[in-house]
């Protein structure tokens, strides 16, 4: 297995956990902001590392989610810093939901690493 998959999994698994925690907690608190910054970094690492994972030898439709995250996370951070909470919520929620969807399909798609591990 390539190092890219390890890097990706080491970023995406905690990002799913911290993302869920941050979505559930009270917004605007110091803890929300700190977890959010950590989550944003993990998400960008996961998205960029996924671009190097090509089980078919080329990009797949799952890589669309990587591009969405690479765009949404910085836009969402900029939005909250600019006082646009609504855009921030849409961007971060979209990035998180996209990650959950792509993780699901990465697990249930034959030929992918996690499919082999779990099934």
The pLDDT assigned to 57 comes to 84
Whole-angstrom Cα distance, residue 41 to residue 74? 10
pLDDT value at 119 more than 80: no
Per-residue pLDDT tens over the stretch 57-112: 889 888 999 999 999 999 999 999 999 999 999 999 999 999 999 999 888 888 77
Whole-angstrom Cα distance, residue 58 to residue 117? 22
Rounded alpha-carbon distances, angstroms, from residue 78 to 71, 83, 91, 92, 110: 11, 9, 10, 11, 38
Q: How many domains does the chain have?
A: 1
User: Span 41-63, mean pLDDT?
Assistant: 92
pLDDT value at 118 more than 80: no
pLDDT value at 12 more than 80: yes
Whole-angstrom Cα distance, residue 110 to residue 79? 38
Q: Own/partner pairs for 77-80, CB < 8 Å, 24+ apart?
A: 77/40
The range of the structural domain enclosing residue 74 comes to 3-118
């Amino acid at each position: 297995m390539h190092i890219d998959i390890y890097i990706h999994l080491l970023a995406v698994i905690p990002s799913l956990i911290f993302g869920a925690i941050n979505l559930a907690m009270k917004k605007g608190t110091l803890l929300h902001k700190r977890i959010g910054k950590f989550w944003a970094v993990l998400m960008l690492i996961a998205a960029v590392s996924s671009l190097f994972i090509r089980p078919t030898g080329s990009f797949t439709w799952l890589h669309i989610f990587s591009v969405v995250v690479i765009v949404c996370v910085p836009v969402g951070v900029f939005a909250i810093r600019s006082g646009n909470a609504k855009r921030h919520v849409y961007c971060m929620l979209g990035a998180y939901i996209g990650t959950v969807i792509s993780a699901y399909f990465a697990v249930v798609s034959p030929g992918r690493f996690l499919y082999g591990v779990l099934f």
